[in-house]
Amino acid sequence: MFLLDKIIDEEHQSDFRVFLDELRLQENAFLLRDQVIEEFEHFCEKNQKDSDYKTQSELRKLIDLLQEIVFHEEYSYLVTRRRIGETAIYGIPRTANRYEKIPVDAYLQARDAIVLGAPSSECDGLEIDMDPFITSPLIKDSRNIGQGITIFSATFRASSSPTRRSSSPSCSAFSRCTRSRTPSF
Where exactly are the structural domains of the chain? Answer: 3-122, 131-181
Q: What is the pLDDT of residue 82?
A: 83
Backbone phi, psi, residue 98, to 5°: -140, 170
Q: What per-residue confidence (pLDDT) applies to 99? A: 83
pTM: 0.59
pLDDT tens, residue by residue, 29-78: 889 999 999 999 999 999 988 888 888 888 888 888 899 999 988 888 99
CATH code at 3-122: 3.10.450.330
Intervals of the chain under pLDDT 50? 1, 120, 164-185
Q: How far is Cα 177 from Cα 172, in angstroms, rounded to an integer?
A: 8
> What integer best gives the mean pLDDT of the chain?
75
